[in-house]
Amino acid sequence: MQTGVLALLGLASLFVGWILTLVLPGIRYISWGMLLLGTMLVLVAFVIDYRRVRGALASRRGRFSTGTTLMAAIFIGIILLVNAISYTNFHRFDVTGLSQYTLTSQTKSALEGMETPVEALLFTIPGDITGSFLQNLLTEYRNFTDQLGVELIDPEQQPDLARQYGVSQYPAVVFQGEAGQRPVLPQDIISITEQGDMIIEAEYAFTSAILEVIGSVQKKVYFLTGHGENSIFSTSTDGYSTVREGLLDNLYQVESLDIRVAGDIPEDCTILVIPAPDIPLTSREVDVISQYLTDEGWAMILMNPNPPDEIRQLVSQWGLDIHDGIIIDEGSYAEPNMDSPLIPPTRSYFAQFGMLRDTYFPGATALVPQEDMPESIMTIPLIWTSPDSWLEGDFDSDGEYQFEEGVDLQGPLAIGVLIVGLSPEITEVDEETITGTRLIVYGDSDFASNRRFQDGDNGALFLNSVNILTVGKELITMDRKYLQTRRLIIGPEAKNFITISSIGLLPLLVLVAGAYIWWRRR
């Protein structure tokens, strides 16, 4: 009897020690002590009652039990070995509807390239849902770099530390690196939709803050405003808010620019985007933009058919002529509109970097290279129409189009063109070394609007055009990850059913199964 008690105490000690190693790794010495004590108690019981144990093992039942135990031990050992291997060699699958546990490829690239340490101080109250999400996100960041440290701080327990870092709203994260510190506050990551839903978009804010505190300079894209252009903050069908979100997700900084107010183009401007102005630009604005391009600036001009004269003047200086009219493409168009050319990957400059899907241009004009193009300017067609297209000068709103020989401009026609200003000393064109003027012109602005951004690969076309301007060769993605609050609205009857079933459904099923088995075996 005494040996049985010793054996039970030993097994209990082994079980408790095993649980402590999993639940409380901080007291591992106590856990190891419990495991050692349990092992010693079991061995003592075995030695004291050796004859009974040997007799039990030598019997027929004992041999069967021993074999079964050995097989079970081998199986459990294999499982443990597989888990040990998978601990360091694994692949995660994010099956959440919002992919909320998957970082964008841009963030992964930034984290893998970190060479200096960064400390993230997360100020959050225990139990806060948003704070838990941010903590999980930072944990995911650490899976891609060993340079990021994370410290969890309760501002109610450490108010002095919160005041020291200027944090008064929670949850908030303060990133610290060799180039300084950058706080990410709730207003930087939480927004409320028009329907009242809360959206958490923390990844861009976190990655931007990390890049800032390690001294990396983010490229900044300015969108011209003040002339009826499509706004980057407008969520209407004609707005450019989706363009802005796509650029932010690809780690660009995005701002609007009114030259009449600013007086000049900021020095930190990486790319100037002119999105189809309706109101004519002033002569001074034209001069400022022209000088910016002459000084090896990078820009993108989006225009619609029959653009203002000031836009024609800007592109004319760089070897392009704009004729009045709209492109009709009988050979490739988006049904049922022949004035919406469909451009397959085979008629795209980007095909050499990775095949894009079809792109659509509802109502576009043609970009025609000048015959006396200066040798210092090189033009590269980006998007062009089929040979069965033409520029319809006499546009008929009722959809009746007819090509007129000698009047209409015959295709193929360029809808998008890359213009590169070559310095006199450059004898061979190399995309990696050209630092001169870069200008992309598209004969349509609607393809990048909120309504058309998701059509085919229109969004990818715009974003990769920006990437080409910044001397990039790899196609960029349009990853967008955010956590959106999802509400389940139920009535009283559904609430009562969920409550009752969650309490009594499982026991009832077990009872029914037991009754059925008893009935079959009685």
**Residuewise pLDDT in 10s, the chain (522 residues):** 466 677 677 777 777 777 776 666 667 778 788 878 888 877 777 677 666 666 665 666 656 565 666 666 666 667 756 665 665 565 665 555 455 556 777 788 888 888 889 999 999 998 888 888 888 889 888 888 889 999 999 988 888 988 898 888 889 999 999 888 889 888 877 766 666 666 777 887 888 888 888 887 778 899 999 988 988 988 888 899 989 888 887 778 899 999 999 989 999 899 999 999 988 899 999 999 999 998 888 999 999 888 888 998 998 888 888 888 888 888 887 767 778 888 888 888 887 766 577 888 888 898 988 888 777 788 889 999 888 888 887 665 555 677 777 778 888 999 999 988 865 554 444 444 445 788 999 999 999 998 888 888 888 889 888 888 876 544 444 444 544 444 555 566 666 667 766 666 677 777 778 777 877 776
SS3 (DSSP) at 115: coil
- 273, 279, 282, 288: CA torsion to nearest 10: 0
245-250: list long-range contacts, CB under 8 Å, 24+ apart. Answer: 245/480, 246/453, 246/459, 246/462, 246/463, 246/478, 246/480, 247/221, 247/463, 247/466, 248/204, 249/104, 249/106, 249/204, 249/478, 249/479, 249/480, 250/106, 250/463, 250/467, 250/476, 250/477, 250/478
Cα separation, 85 vs 35, whole angstroms: 24
Q: Please, are residues 509 and 517 in contact by the beta-carbon 8 Å criterion?
A: no
Q: Measuring CA to CA, which residue among 446, 326, 349 is closest to residue 397?
A: 326
Does the pTM of the predicted model rise above 0.85?
Answer: no
For 381, list phi and psi in degrees, rounded to 5: -65, 135
- Distance linking the first and last C-alpha atoms of the chain: 37
Residues 6+ apart with CB under 8 A from 338: 328, 329, 330, 399, 401
Q: What angle do CA 209, 211, 215 make, to 5 degrees?
A: 115
Pairing of strands 298-302, 271-275: parallel
Cα separation, 519 vs 23, whole angstroms: 42
pLDDT score of 478: 45
Q: Could you tell me the two tokens for 233?
A: 């903050």
Cα separation, 478 vs 480, whole angstroms: 6
Q: Give the largest Cα separation in the chain, rounded.
A: 112
pLDDT score of 273: 94
> Which helix (DSSP H) or strand (DSSP E) does residue 14 occupy?
helix 2-23
Bond preceding residue 126 cis, omega within 30 of 0: no
Q: Could you tell me the two tokens for 393?
A: 């000068």
Question: Which residue type, as a one-letter code, is found at position 190?
Answer: I
Cα separation, 150 vs 508, whole angstroms: 46
Query: Across-strand partners of 390?
Result: 328, 410
| 435 backbone φψ class: left, alpha, beta (φ>0; ψ -120 to 50) | alpha
* Residue with the two structure tokens 């960041």: 141
pLDDT score of 94: 54
Q: Please, are residues 80 and 140 in contact by the beta-carbon 8 Å criterion?
A: no
Cα separation, 283 vs 321, whole angstroms: 20
Residues 6+ apart with CB under 8 A from 179: 212, 213, 214, 215
For 464, list phi and psi in degrees, rounded to 5: -75, -25
Q: Measuring CA to CA, which residue among 509, 355, 386, 358 is closest to residue 447?
A: 358
Cα separation, 316 vs 508, whole angstroms: 80
